[in-house]
Structure 1
C-alpha cells in the first residue's frame, strides 16, 4: 500500500505517517485535480469556508451544507445509518416510545443490580441464565460483570432496551435496571414502583 501511495504522490519516498499538514493539503489538491466529479459552485464555497475555519460566530458554516452530508459522514465513521423519524410521530407518545424511536440502531448501555448482596460468582451464575434467555430470544446483547452485585448489558439496538427491561424486572433476583440514569425496580427490590414516581 505504501509503495503505490508514494508512487502516486509524485514519486516521493516519504512515509505517509510523516506527512505534514502541507503535504496532506498538496495531496488533496492533486486528488481534486484528477477527480472527474466536481462539486457545484455553492458547495465549493461552503467547503472552502469550512477549510479556512471559522474566525467568529458570524462566520459559522451553512448548516444546510452540513446537514446534507451529515448522514453520509455518520455512516462512514460509525458504519451505520442514523435513524430517521418524523417529529410529528412523537406527539402524544410516552417517553419510553420516544426513546425507542431515538435509540433505534444505536448502542445502549443498561445496568442491572442483583438483590440480596450476592458474591461475584453468584452474580455470574444468575445473570448468565438471564443472558442466555435474552440470546435465545434473539437479542444482540453483551454482558459484563462490573461489581459483585452489578452487571452491564450492552445492547446493539437501543430500541430493544425496554423489552429487555420488562424481562429483567420480572426476575426474582433483579433489584434494579437502569437505562439512561433512570431506575426501574424489579421483583427483588425493597422499593416499589410508586416510590420511583
Structure 2
C-alpha cells in the first residue's frame, strides 16, 4: 500500500512539474486570458496599437468634422459687409445649430406642429435639418451643411408664428413678432 501511494505521489509530482513547464513554454499569445498577467496584457496592448498605426489614413471627407482640414476661403470674392455671405462661406461643410422660438401666445402642442411643418418645408427645399425640441416653444435646428442655415433663417423670419431665431450669436426677430413691431415703431418716432 505504501508503494502505491509513493507511486501516485511521484506520478502527481511529475505531472505537476510537466504542467508548470508547459505553462512556462506557452507563448503569451497562446495563453488563456484567465492565465495572463499584467505583462501579458501590456504586450497585447502594444500589439494592438501597432496595428492601429499601420492603417491607412482616411480621406478628408471620411474624417470626423473636427479633424477635417479647413477649407481655403478667398475673402476677396466675398462681401464682408454682408454677414449672411460670411456665414455661408465660413460654414460650408460644417454643422451649425440654430435656436428657433415660436411666439409665446401659441399653445405648446400647436407650436410643436408648426415646427414640424417648418422642418418638413425646409427639407422639401433640400435643406438637410434635424430638429431637437428643447421646450414647448423652442427647438434646435441642426444643419449638417451650415451654409444652408441662411436660407432657413430667411424662410423662418417670414413665418407669422415665429418670435425669433438665434444663429451664430445673432438674434433675428420674425417679421410678425412683437419685437420687430416695436423696433419699427421706434424708427418711425425718430
Question: TM bucket by the smaller chain?
Answer: 0.5 to 0.7
Residue 86 (structure 1) aligns with: 73
Residue 25 (structure 1) aligns with: 46
Displacement of 1:73 in angstroms is 7.4
Residue 142 (structure 2) aligns with: 154
Displacement of 1:28 in angstroms is 3.7
Residue 171 (structure 2) aligns with: 183
TM-score by length of 2: 0.62
Residue deviations 1:9-32 (CA, integer Å, cap 9, x gap): 9445549xx985664234445787
The aligned runs of 1:1-197 (5 Å cut-off) are 10-11=29-30, 13-14=32-33, 23-29=44-50, 75-78=62-65, 81-82=68-69, 84-89=71-76, 92-93=79-80, 94-192=82-180
Aligned length: 151
In 1: Cα distance, 2:172 partner to 2:33 partner: 58
Contact persistence 1:75–1:82 (CA under 8 A) = no
Q: Residues 27, 124 of structure 1: CA spacing in aligned structure 2 closer, same or farther, 3 A cutoff? A: closer
Residue 66 (structure 1) aligns with: none
Q: Considering only aligned residues, what root-mean-square deviation do their CA atoms show, in Å? A: 3.8
SS in 2 for 1:191: helix
Bigger CA radius of gyration = 2
In 2: Cα distance, 1:123 partner to 1:30 partner: 52
Point out where structure 1 has 5 or more consecutive residues left out of the alignment: 1-8, 38-68
Q: Residues 78, 194 of structure 1: CA spacing in aligned structure 2 closer, same or farther, 3 A cutoff? A: same
In 1: Cα distance, 2:136 partner to 2:157 partner: 19
